[in-house]
Amino acid sequence: MIRRFQFVFSILSVAFVFALGCQTTYYAVWEKLGKEKRHLLKSNVEKARTEQQKASEEFKDALTRIKEIYGFKGGDLEKFYNKLNDDYESCEKRAESVTDKIEKVEQIASDLFKEWKNEIDEMNNETFKAKSRRSLKDTMDRYARLNVAMTQAQSRMEPVLKRLRDYVLYLKHNLNAQAIGALKGEVGNIEIEVDTLITDMSRSIQEANDFLKNFE
């Protein structure tokens, strides 16, 4: 029981330290728990991938909700608005979580690669140095592809969120048949944006899978 409490306390300490932005202490705490930067990078790439998977589903759900407008022939507009607003808020929160996870990945990757380079410089064996440099380069190249895919998918979320927000506010201010008619004319635009977002998310998730598969 005591060991379990100590472990939970250590995890909470790590989260608190990371929130404060003290990277050195953050890594020191994790090292005491047996986790090096490479372990942290792998773990955070997995978390970013999971958040992107969830984001994809939630944006799809929001689009499905909007497309229900096509079949709307009268009913409780207030109820429809509330559901659409809930979908928007879920997407917004998930987008914030995705951004947070990507930022953590970027920070840890940067620190890992810097440490890796410095440790190679400390080596005396030239054969080991050469192999380590190749390994570092391969890892950095794979990470670069992952980072491009992640950030591109991330950048697609904001325009979709803005459009969703417009729909929600417009419907809030105009709970009538004319509002439904106006929204029907806009569905095609957001459908294109969401489809592009989902495609980019899928590419990012695949890059994460490839990176994790080859990351030791």
Q: DSSP for 68-89?
A: GGGG--SS-HHHHHHHHHHHHH
| CA–centroid distance for 160 within its chain | 15
What gap in Å lies between CA 42 and CA 215, rounded to an integer?
A: 8
Show pLDDT as tens, one digit a residue, over the chain (216 residues).
545 544 444 555 455 554 445 788 899 999 999 999 999 999 999 999 999 999 999 999 999 998 888 777 666 788 889 999 999 999 999 999 999 999 999 999 999 999 999 999 999 999 999 999 999 999 999 999 999 999 999 999 999 999 999 999 998 998 888 888 888 888 888 999 999 999 999 999 999 999 999 886
- The structure's pTM equals 0.85
Q: DSSP for 197-208?
A: HHHHHHHHHHHH
Q: What is the largest CA-CA distance in the chain?
A: 77
